[in-house]
Amino acid sequence: MATGSLFKDEATEEKGERARMASFIGAMAIADLVKTTLGPKGMDKILQSTGRGHSVTVTNDGATILKSLHIDNPAAKVLVDISKVQDDEVGDGTTSVVVLAGELLREAEKLVNVKIHPMTIISGYRMAAECARNALLEKVVDNKLDAEKFKEDLMKIAMTTLSSKILSQDKEHFAKLAVDAVMRLKGSTNLESIQIIKKPGGALTDSFLDEGFILDKKIGVGQPKRIENAKILVANTAMDTDKVKIYGARVRVDSMAKVAEIEVAEKEKMREKVQKIINHGINCFVNRQLIYNFPEELFADAGVLAIEHADFDGIERLGLVTGGEIASTFDNPESVKLGHCKLIEEIMIGEDKLIHFSGVAMGQACTIVLRGASPHMLDEAERSLHDALCVLSQTVNDSRVLFGGGWPEMVMAKAVDELARKTPGKRSHAIEAFSRALIAIPTTIADNAGLDSAELIAQLRAEHHKEGSTAGIDVISGSVGDMSELGISEAFKVKQAVLLSATEAAEMILRVDEIITCAPRRREDRM
């Protein structure tokens, strides 16, 4: 019986070999796309949107590139998702995870072609992943107890993370900023209280870390420019003159005097509202919405600093940092939680005036101000810094550290190779393939730097057969270098996440033997 009639007209299905081909090709194409961005000498991509304004993004962050692609291939989507998860989970290793998954599938394709069943490959991959993880666990260094050494580790990790990004020229400066910011968090992974403000102008090295909170707003006219021991009310309420705000309402009057009365009533209503707010005993009022001239004048008379139109991120974070809550009704002052800080003043950064809150209730809060030549550069710098902050905040909790520069992959590959030799049966082919896929990461790092990868990897492999070797690829000198001397370190958590996510993604795509594309729903003609 023909199954053609089973699906609607436009639905398509691909079976067996063809489905597997489509998945493999899609996944490998995605891996090759981001492959060139891996490592300290990776190249950037320009992403241009087709929307209004044709906005341009210049980036080499794997997750950012993949997020912006509109992809039709289902297997490629799986890889895009793992890179997103990697970005949310640990912040770094977004490119490595896609490259590794792509290589695992490339190896699996060869095995499937020599008639090894996908399930055999999967069980081999599982054994190999477990073995690789244990090999890393044996080699981790943990300096949690020695504060000095631990801070050095954090600096090294931050510098390694930043060295593949746009900030690599000033990586020491930014690594210090990131480590200081994360040390203030005292072990929480909530990056909400680290605010990043981007101000074009100046050089990247002019960026600095400021203790406290900076709000990107100006202080209104005729209001105090400096307040000590501030009590802050953070609100989201309409402070434009309270006109009759009912849509389509009409007021009919028979003389101008009546209009004047209505206006007076409106002003009175506003004055009452302002009085209610002032009764909270505050000296700073931050509002999400507009504040018109009349209420602003009333606040100025009462000596209250009124800040309007603070963007939502701004006031949410301000509430969080000063310990206040966002209020929208002001009838019972005792139930509103006010924010506190020691000093509010106006500062200048470049050409712009900003408001600076110092001595805030939440001691871990700080603001990183990024300076740079152009908006694109600042966006990319922010992404790079965000990656570094994520990795560091994860490392503070899980303080296990490994060397970088292709060292972990070689350690894992060596252990997996040994396992392959001990394992009988077809699975050993899959395990061997896993070790080849792991070596693809140092190979790619070397290729991107324009080095002879075959020669370097052979040297690395020989080095790693010595006990306790710390050899990795030194991209700067173009040879095999000692990672502990060069201070190239990575967080164990990042490597583990890369290994496990890539293996699981490859496994998921390997299991596919049929792709069914549904027919789009037709719109009925409603005539």
Q: Which residue has the tokens 């019986």?
A: 1
502, 207, 163: which is closest to 349 by C-alpha?
207
- 387 catalytic residue (yes or no): yes
Q: Which of 64, 94, 161, 503 is catalytic?
A: 94
How many residues are there in the chain? 527
DSSP for 413-449 reads HHHHHHHHHH--STHHHHHHHHHHHHHHHHHHHHHHT
State the Cα–Cα distance between residues 20 and 112, nearest whole angstrom: 10
Tokens of 486: 């060069």
Distance CA 35, CA 31 (A): 6
Whether 61 is catalytic is: yes
Kind of pairing, strands 339-349 and 12-15? unpaired
- E-strand stretches of 242-377: 284-287, 305-307, 326-327, 339-349, 352-360, 366-372
- DSSP assignment letter at 53: G
Whole-angstrom distance, CA of residue 191 vs CA of residue 173: 20
**Which residue out of 57, 95, 395, 443 is catalytically annotated?**
95
DSSP 272-295: HHHHHHHTTT-SEEEESS-B-HHH
> Regarding beta strands 284-287 and 226-235, do their DSSP bridges make them parallel or antiparallel, or are they unpaired?
parallel
3-state secondary structure of 354: strand
Closest listed residue to residue 216, CA positions, set 233, 239, 240, 199: 199
Whose CA is closest to 339, among 358, 359, 319?
Answer: 319
Cα separation, 203 vs 304, whole angstroms: 37
- Alpha-carbon distances of 498 from 87, 98, 179, 491, 501, rounded to whole Å: 11, 9, 23, 11, 5
Q: Taking the CA atoms of 282, 283, 287 and 290 in sequence, report the sign of the dihedral they define.
A: positive
Distant-in-sequence, close-in-space partners of 437: CB < 8 Å, separation ≥ 6 = 100, 103, 104, 106, 107
Residue 350 — left, alpha, or beta (φ > 0 → left; ψ -120 to 50 → alpha)?
Answer: left
Residue type, position 212, single letter: G
H/E run at residue 54: none
Q: Is 202 left (phi over 0), alpha (psi -120 to 50) or beta?
A: left
- Of the listed 92, 153, 379, 387, which one is catalytic? 387
Among candidate residues 59, 61, 92, 470, the one labeled active-site is 61
Token pair recorded at residue 2: 């023909």
Catalytic center residues: 61, 94-95, 387
